[in-house]
Amino acid sequence: MFAHLSSPSQAVVSVTELNKTVRQTLEASLPILWVAGEISNFKRYDSGHCYFSLKDAGAQVRCVMFRNRAALLDFRPLDGLQVEVRAVVSLYEARGDYQLTIEAMRPAGAGALFAAFEALKKKLDAEGLFDPARKRPLPAFAQRIGIVTSASGAALRDMLTTLRRRWPGIEVILYPSAVQGVQAPAELLAAVRAASTRNEVDVLIVGRGGGSLEDLWAFNDEMLARAIAAAPMPVISAVGHETDFTIADFVADVRAPTPTAAAELASPDRSSYLRRLDSLAQQLQRSMQRQLQQRMLAVDALARRLRHPGETLRMQCMQLQSLNMRMNRAIHGNVSSQQQGLAQLERRLTRQLPDLTPVQHQLERLQGRLLQAGQRQFASQQQRLDYARIRLDTLNPRAVLARGYGYVTLADGQLASSVDQLPPRTAATLHLADGEVGITVDPAAPNQGVLF
């Protein structure tokens, strides 16, 4: 095929056609085969597809494992892991990259370690050491935190820095141990047992920084796993990076993706609690202000209800005046209504009465005639009266006295009409026209009717 493409008599082909022909040639000429190598630059994307390189001492090749095949793996691919892959040799046409499309993957150089890891994992899981029901919660405020790790490792420095930043008052007790190598399992076991025996911390962190599968293998020790499960305090496993898993991770009460994350899990965040306290203080202040304002409003309401007797009397007087005004308006309105009704009745009565104008004229004429008759009768009676007055004057004794006559009355006021009533020395009164004068009968005078 290549000889055919290179013939001078053929037209020039495009890059796309070239890459397509090469891919088809590779896939057709090479059967599915097993390739051994070390994983490098492994990445699993959100889509589930995995991309990495497979290398050995002399070369490397790009690899892709699509989601449907990656979901069948019973272990976690990691950088540095020796594996054997069943693959199709192909070409990624868009970039012209030669690559392997992985159909299956199995551990190679670390196959024995993975087998031992899986066997121990199944054993301990069957015994219930991984049961979530036996996991203990972490204390909210740990007073002391124990750390099982290398005294010279970067993981210890990271954890101490995090603890000082988050809660400076926490006391840290280090149980130093090797974290890799032949002596690491025994030292890790001794450190965990020492922490359990002394039982002086509230939570224990067991961990180290990242590394290869062989570097982390000490944390897959069965005795260490059982010691962690038997510890009297909660244990946080913080081994390697987020993608690293060990038996210690499964048996511990809490797994932290990194040592720094373990320190954050074990310690309260001072700044967040300070913010929380500040928020609570502000809420308390606002609550107290609201309650104080409510109490002040209640006092004001009671003060408004609590009046001086004089004020109460004044209010009652005002209310009485208001009621009096309302009563007067009601009476006035009632009277006005009655008056209006009466006026209406008067108008109706007026409409019902007969016309009295002729009678009124006749009455006026009769009154005139009656007045004239009365005047005439008065004049006649006046004449009669004048005549009687003249006659009376004629008969009036005082008129006689005016002509020079007089009369005598006795001491008892009796009129003396005879001299026999006037014996000598009798006191009497002589009445004349212009007055009266007292007299005494002279005893020497003869009793011949002469009084004095």
> Distance between CA atoms of 380 and 167, rounded to whole angstroms?
145
Full set of structural domains in the chain with CATH: 2-109 (2.40.50.140), 115-130+143-268 (3.40.50.2300), 392-452 (no CATH)
Kindly report the backbone phi and psi dihedral angles of residue 221, in degrees, each rounded to the nearest multiple of 5, phi listed first. Answer: -75, 135
CB < 8 Å & 24+ apart, contacts of 113-119: 113/213, 113/214, 113/217, 114/75, 114/213, 116/220, 117/220, 117/247, 118/74, 118/75
Q: What is the pLDDT averaged over residues 310-332?
A: 82
Query: Collapsing DSSP states into helix, strand and coil, what is residue 43?
Result: strand
Longest Cα separation, the chain: 226
Q: Which of 12-26, 57-71, 245-259 has the lowest mean pLDDT?
A: 12-26
| 3-class SS of residue 370 | helix
- Any idea how long the chain is? 452
The dihedral over CA atoms of 112, 117, 118, 124, expressed in degrees to the nearest 10, equals: 150
- pLDDT tens per residue across span 202-216: 999 999 988 777 788
Amino acid identity of residue 13, one-letter, is: V
Backbone angles phi, psi at 186, to 5 degrees: -65, -45
| pLDDT band at residue 424 using 50, 70 and 90 as cut-offs | confident
402-406 long-range contacts, CB within 8 A, separation 24+? 402/433, 404/433, 406/430, 406/431, 406/432, 406/433
- Greater confidence, 234 or 441? 234
- Asked if the model's pLDDT at residue 8 lies above 80, the reply is no
Q: What is the pLDDT of residue 449?
A: 47
Average pLDDT of 146-155? 94
